[in-house]
């Protein structure tokens, strides 16, 4: 009886690989090594960027920890909720973004600002209303150190800054400014050059304080700018009106 073959059957895939490697073994081995090298490079690049990302996150957390540590005895308002902003009343000169421009109209330089007020949606023990304000006249604000205007408001408007009055009247006048000729070609606010007096009236009977006679005063029409906006609360009058 003849010897029976015990050899393993060779698959087509096996034959193909043997054929390829027999003809160009160095070429395919080189391709494999290049692919492996690219895979390693890609892995290292991924690890590098991954480490940088984690490191930056760690630094951010460290900074936040330091900030929280410094603020542990301070109150913050991130948890507070506020009502939607509403437009200011007409007397407050409504502006863009629901800002009130009242003090932009009445004041100048560092004293002029637009503001808006955020009211709490509900009462919270650790929350308060929030107030926001911005400068109105930035160019004038920056000039405040080199161009300061001295305004003398005394003895200009009847019923304002101690100036007594006998009749109810108001007028427009010019505010004298020291050294105005030294400020040629500079930008100023109109409220630094002219004024409009309020209209005042006496609203009480004469009364005496420390042997001086006075009447209380009411503002009928507001003046402009803010230094002349309201009349004085009281005005001095002749002592004989108090029976002196």
Tell me the pLDDT tens digit for each residue of 181-199: 666 777 777 777 778 888 8
Tell me the percentage of the chain whose pLDDT exceeds 90. 10
pLDDT for position 174: 60
Q: What is the DSSP letter of 204?
A: S
Could you tell me where the DSSP H helices lie in 200-242? none
Range from 3-7, 30-34, 57-61 carrying the lowest mean pLDDT: 3-7
**β partners of residue 209:** 212
Given a cut of 80, whether residue 129 has pLDDT beyond it is yes
- pLDDT tens sequence across 48-106: 999 999 999 999 998 888 877 777 677 677 788 999 988 888 888 888 888 999 888 88
Whole-angstrom distance, CA of residue 29 vs CA of residue 127: 71
pLDDT band at 244 (very low <50, low <70, confident <90, very high): low
Give Cα separations from 63 to 50, 58, 75 (angstroms): 20, 9, 19
pLDDT for position 116: 92
Tell me the percentage of the chain whose pLDDT exceeds 70. 76
| The model scores a pTM over 0.75 | no
Given a cut of 80, whether residue 164 has pLDDT beyond it is no
3-state secondary structure of 199: strand
Contact 175, 193 (CB under 8 A): yes
pLDDT for position 235: 85
pLDDT for position 39: 92
pLDDT for position 179: 58
Given a cut of 60, whether residue 6 has pLDDT beyond it is no
């Amino acid at each position: 009886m003849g010897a029976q073959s015990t050899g393993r059957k060779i698959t087509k895939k096996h034959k193909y690989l043997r054929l390829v490697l027999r003809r160009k073994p160095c070429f395919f081995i080189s391709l494999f090594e290049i692919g492996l090298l690219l895979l390693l490079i890609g892995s290292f690049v991924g690890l590098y960027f991954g480490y940088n990302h984690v490191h930056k996150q760690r630094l951010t957390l460290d900074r936040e920890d330091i900030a929280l540590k410094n603020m542990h005895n301070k109150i913050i308002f991130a948890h507070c909720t506020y009502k939607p902003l509403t437009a200011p009343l007409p007397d407050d000169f409504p502006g863009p973004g629901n800002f009130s421009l009242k003090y932009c109209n009445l004041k100048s330089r560092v004293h002029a600002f637009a503001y808006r007020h955020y009211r709490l949606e509900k009462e919270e023990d650790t929350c308060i209303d929030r107030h926001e304000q911005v400068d109105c006249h930035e160019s004038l604000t920056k000039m405040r150190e080199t161009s300061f205007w001295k305004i003398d408001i005394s003895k200009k408007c009847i019923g304002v800054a101690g100036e007594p009055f006998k009749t109810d009247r108001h007028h427009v006048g010019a505010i004298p400014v020291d050294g105005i000729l030294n400020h040629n070609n500079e930008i100023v606010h109109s409220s630094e050059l002219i004024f409009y007096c309020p209209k005042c009236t006496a609203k009480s009977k004469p009364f005496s304080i420390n042997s001086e006679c006075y009447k209380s005063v009411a503002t009928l029409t507001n003046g402009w700018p803010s230094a002349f906006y309201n009349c004085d609360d009281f005005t001095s009058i002749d002592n004989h009106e108090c029976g002196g």
